[in-house]
A and B are shown apart, each in its own frame.
Chain A
Amino acid sequence: MGASWSVQDFRQTGVTQSGPGAFFLFCFWKTWRPSVEKYGQMRFLTAEAKVSAGRLNGKMREKTLTMDTLNPQVKAVEYAVRGPIVIKAGEIEKYLEEGGTKPFSEVIKANIGDAHAMGQQPITFLRQVVALCTFPELMDSPSFPEDAKWRARRILQGCGGHSLGSYSASPGVECIRKDIAAYIEQRDEGVPSDWENIYLTTGASDGIMTILRLLVSGKDSSRTGVMIPIPQYPLYSAAISEMDAVQVNYYLDEDNCWALDINELYRAYQAAKLHCQPKVICIINPGNPTGQVQSKKCIEEVLHFAYEENLFVMSDEVYQDNVYTPDCQFHSFKKVLYEMGPEYFNSVELASFHSTSKGYTGECGFRGGYMEVINMDPEVKAQLVKLLSVRLCPPLAGQAAMDVIVNPPQPDEHSYKQFHQEKSSVLGALADKAKLTEQILNAVPGIKCNPVQGAMYAFPRIFIPPKAVEEAKALGMQPDMFYCLRLLEETGICVVPGSGFGQKDGTYHFRMTILPSIEKLKVLLGKVRDFHISFLKEYSALE
């Protein structure tokens, strides 16, 4: 549907909202879902109101699939990272392409961690190996290095008919699973990893959904509860909605650099137990959208908590290579669990996730990823394999890309120097940009930004004047959505409102990536600063 939203549209519809239709909408709103006030939901309500109106006129819908008959869990799904603001950004881009004029010449999409779209160059070695796998005739080409050819040959030998075009086994190509296990063992300084616990996935999202799907069961107060951080990456809330599980929020401590507080876990857990059965705890480390890197001690506390309360642990570690602050270090949940001793290591059920999309490679389009599952009941593991097999296999090119990441050039190999140089240059630039973003944002009155210790985003808190909050609410919009829409319309910068990730009541944020090139990022941050100041002025003047 080519629906178009802008603050202006809302202002216009606001005029008609004094009519009886608006009152109906309002009542429907209040009775149907009093706790949810999100902008996305607003759209669905508008749609339903239309359907009902059609019925009143005696015009029966002939369609089988309508908003009334649609799977209600699908309706409940929200995914802010590609939500209304991004759709609006796409529309503005088209408008500009067609010669339309705006106060800016291009839309900067800082809404999603899409490194290549922001100009980051692919790692040469990775692309060489995948190209060789794709078109093995290139094995004869002198312009490809031997170490790339060697890897490509090895991957192809693991493929049916030596072709990337055959299905792989559903858990993934065997030699790639072995390489991943070896990589994990090396990363975790010798903690054993069994390749049969490794499952290749279609990006990390696919793995996360699959594990949640296994875990969700029960009815009413025995329905599976899934503990997720707030703010969270909205894949989690979307998956929970889609599966009709119960979302259990635990709040990260913004005043303490978005650290996870074990007391808050207990509070959330105890409160949830009254109405569901909390069975899973999800952790994102380094944090998305919040950029914190968890300390080892904190991970120990979480694992002990999971051990005590019998929770399945899901640790989303897709940003494991993205740690920028010198005093922070990535600790895998697996390794910490091991170090806590065999009682823990042999008992806590843990699934951890990695991906080709982040790190220094940023290969999002390949949809590569893996998960490692430990201590899973063998019978359930058989069920997992069965479930994966229905979708046949993850994309082979993504599996090959994953293989290069876990098996990069070694110091004695020809491609090492270039590889190493490319890798350090990406990670070095990201560290610079993390620092720069924090510094510039913190210089703006009314914006406060925690250090971006890791991952790819800043999630600053923004002060929105009460008058602006009022205006947003009158438009049926979250105040930070209102803010971000205005930012988009006035500057072309596309960021995602904090309400899409969840935040403490009464606080407002946005998520922006730190991925644009340094020059572009500086321009972007300058524009955000100017916008914010003028926004504050505009709405303070109204007081």
Chain B
Amino acid sequence: MIAWLLLLSLSTTSTQDGQENSVLRCGPQNVTLDYDSFLLKWEDDLSCSVIRDGLVYELQLLIADKPEHNGEVVVAPAQIGSTHSWKWISHLPSQCARHSVRLRSQYNNQSSPWMQKTLPDQGEILVLPRDQILEVGSTATFCCMVPDGESIKTMFLLKYKGTNVTTTKISEHVHSLIVHLDQESENYSDVQCETTKGDINGASFHASYPPDDSDLKCETRDLESIDCFWNVGRAANEHPAMERTYQLQGSSCINGRSGKCSQKVKVDAAERNWTLTATNRLGKLEIHDNADLTKRVHMVAPDKVAASTVNPRNISLKWSWTVQKYSNLNITCQVHVSDGNSNTKTESIGVGLTAAVIKDLIPHWGYDVRVRCGTAQHFWKWGDWSKSVKIRTKGDVPDALDVWMKVKEDQTVISWKVPLANQSHGEIFDYKVSWAKTKDKNQSNQTNVSRSNHSLTLTLDPSEEYMVTVTARNINGSSSPSTIIIPRCNLDTSKVKTSWISGSNGSFFLSWPDSPNASCGYIVDWCPVFGNCSFEWMKVPPNRTRTTIFSKNFEDGRRYLLSIYACTEGAAVLLQRREGYIRETKIGGELFKLKYKQEDSAVEVSWEPIPLEKQTASIHGYILYYQDKSGNVFNVSTDDPEATSLTAKNLNISTYTFTVTASTAFGLCGNSSISVTLNPLADQLIMLILISLGAVFLILSVSTIICYRHWACIKHKVYPPIPKPVLTDQWLTLPDEHTSHRLHFDQSYYREVLDIPKLHDQFRPPQPVVGQDYKPFTFSQTPKGYYNKPLKKSQPCLTLPTTGLTSQPGLPSSPINGVFPNPSYNPSYNLVLQSVDREFKSGPEVHEGIPFIRSFSGYQRQSPDETFTTTELDEYPNSPISCVSTYILLPQKTSN
């Protein structure tokens, strides 16, 4: 009865359309609809609890207010009172339309009223789908819907760089946005929708990739488990929603994102397929590797590596294994030995290998040693390196020293290179140097040199050949002796040419022809050309004839001398020498101390030779610039680098500035200047005047003496005694005697007169030559005569100023002596043409001689200078000479 009453209370009666219908009170309540999954949830009304035999809910889906799908949910009696759900999975593409869901309960042909849920609800802006994870390469469609009464203003994409976006206005209430996802989202991208009222809403999405892991490789380290590695591909550490999960052989990998997964497996000698599965929200991927793990052993690092035996030049190593199964494996191990500068690797092989020997080590030297191993059979890959252990070898005697020498006169410097740490094999105590003549080795001298010195200067007899031996001593003993032969005499360097060399990049590159003498190679030594020669050297093996020399002591702008020797069983043989700079530097400052010397119109500027220490660059020559007051600049130059002077010629009497500069690879350097005012040639003029005055004085003196000595004669000639009137007949006979006496006097006079021109000629200054062809009158002082000097104006014979003079009968005369009128001159003057033949040949031959032409300009005072004489005259003392002095009026007998 009670139950019936309760059932009666489930329904109420209503009148609709004139008919009476029963309405079920038991219906849905608290209805919710999830926008994204379209999941409808509801609860039963409390009145439903009385129903014992189940309940049915009828559902209806409407799209754009049109029924699209119908369904029902049967609620079992036990489920009444709980929450019910219904999910609609559309097989159609996302449709931008308003969706509604209606549901009601049915029981005993009675139905509850429809309960409707519509998307979007009033006051909502709905953008679907939301929070989607989408695959790059796909196309996504988003819808924006607003309820009636509102309209959409805009819909757009945010935080996504895709450009292929299309927005479509379906209605005032519905817009769609289609985007082609061509790239990955940085994070969540957004689709935003805004209404005309300014309200906004949107949907976020993330575009990414499904798993793309690849290259699975599996191996074992302990023969009890498997280790797999793979390439995790792109976008492995991205959005939290895209996190991948991994499984190896169906078991989860804890940290698969690192591309590594390990699992315990049974390792046997069989090939198996190993599978890794990668999964994310966009997909699932399986990658495989086929492997026999017994052939994929990646060994762990050797443990407890240590030296079991340490010797000067070898070490025994031992280690152990943490994996017991390695003891049955055939193992190859690699021992890496490093001293900081060089590395070596040696390999050993053996079953369960746990020891190795390292050879060829440097005594007293520190090493870092580590070991790694792999399977010798079916080698897969090298295992891990062990921890590095430090081992120091024991000490030993020093290595033989590198010895060289330098001989300078009787001083011989024996030098050796400081043994490096890897050559000394312990702290050097001292050095022992012994020397002896090679012909008498028994008489050996020796001395100890402290460890701080690395050379010894010996005074040796240059005429003897010596053998010098040097050894080094440390706590372990003495080194092998290093012997060098000092040659009997200094190495003869005169036959060895020195050629020029230029450095490059701080070094000298040398090459030389092969020498048959070089049985033990070559030695190249070098030292600066000036200053103390602290020489350095290097040794070159026999098969090499080139080397590059570096030295920390090389200085720019300093000239070096490099010598190449052939190393022989005896003394070294000098082959070549080079001289040059590592790098030339510009010569700075004033380089020259200038002096000058004036010679006539030339000035010679000289300087001291440039010392080598100042020649920071090679001097190719010098240039002398000189500038006069007007600013005109002239120059003279020389290509001789040894030159110490340059001469400027043809200078005017003026002030000049002379600048000397050196020509180098850097251009002109070391300019030094001097200002010189040229002196007029006053001294020479004065000297000339004095000489002329002296000559005149001498002539006058001689003339005076002669005149004095012959005064009576002169007086008699000039002022002959006036005979007194003779009244007797003797007067008439006297004239013939008198005439005869006069003639005799004339002859002596000739001799005296001939001497006088000789004196005059000695003091006669050079006179310009009138004519060009004076050969018959040119006297040579040497067999070849003087060249390039003005011809002396000498005339073999005097020309007589007296016109119309004819040769005296009975006296020798010039072969030709004629007077011709010269029409080009003043007709009042006469042109005297005279030709002289040495042999005084007669008339017709005169015309073949070279004529001597002399013009006279009116009257010319007869000067002593114009009285000539020749040595030829002396050679022919008896030759007839036609010489007349106007001062001495010779009594002449006219022909008529």
Q: Report if A and B associate in a common complex.
A: no
